[in-house]
Amino acid sequence: MRVHSFILASLLSLSLPAFAEEAAKETPAATATDAKADVKAASGIENRLPTGEGTSFPAKSAVYVWSEITGANGQEVEHVWKKDDKELRRAKFQVGSKRWRVNSRVPSAGKGSYVVEVVLGDKVLGDVKFTVE
């Protein structure tokens, strides 16, 4: 009886890794090529949606960048803020589902030309451009 139990346990341990490999092949993880982002600049956020969308904002006002990210579940994305072609700041987010909304802001924006990119690894998923006057 002990010999049979030992043989059965040995056979199971050999077949489980192969089963796990096959399961991993059947459910591929999301990749940067699957992901995309809808990106908007706004003067506020209400109920997880942008309000006061625009391409120009007054100096010293808060400017929010909102993005809806799809296809990046379980991965980290960044809002990369650039002002006059120089990186200003980065905001990192862990994406928690197939469709995920995030926002970041500058509380008192200085005059200039801005672009905010939504980045996953080395791929830009989307961006928004605006000016502060």
Question: What is the average pLDDT score of the chain?
Answer: 85
The C-alpha angle 117, 118, 121, rounded to 5 degrees, equals 110
What's the distance, CA 38 to chain centroid? 11
Residue written as tokens 């469709």? Answer: 99
pLDDT of residue 31: 59
pLDDT tier, 24 (very low <50, low <70, confident <90, very high otherwise):
very low
Tell me how far CA of residue 96 lies from CA of 4, 17, 86, in angstroms. 46, 28, 30
pLDDT given for residue 21 in this prediction: 40
Tell the burial category of 73 from Cβ atoms under 10 Å away from its Cβ (0-12, 13-18, 19+): middle
Long-range residue pairs from 78-81, CB within 8 A, at least 24 positions apart, any chain: 78/118, 78/119, 78/120, 79/104, 79/116, 79/117, 79/118, 79/119, 80/116, 80/117, 80/118, 80/119, 81/106, 81/114, 81/116
Map out the domains of the chain as residue ranges.
Answer: 36-132
Question: For 66-100, how does the pLDDT look when each residue is reduced to its tens digit (9 = 90+)?
Answer: 999 999 999 999 999 999 999 999 999 999 999 99
> pLDDT higher for 131 or 23?
131
Which of the 8 DSSP states describes residue 96? Answer: -
CATH top class, domain 36-132: mainly beta
pLDDT tens digits along 94-119: 999 999 999 999 999 999 999 999 99
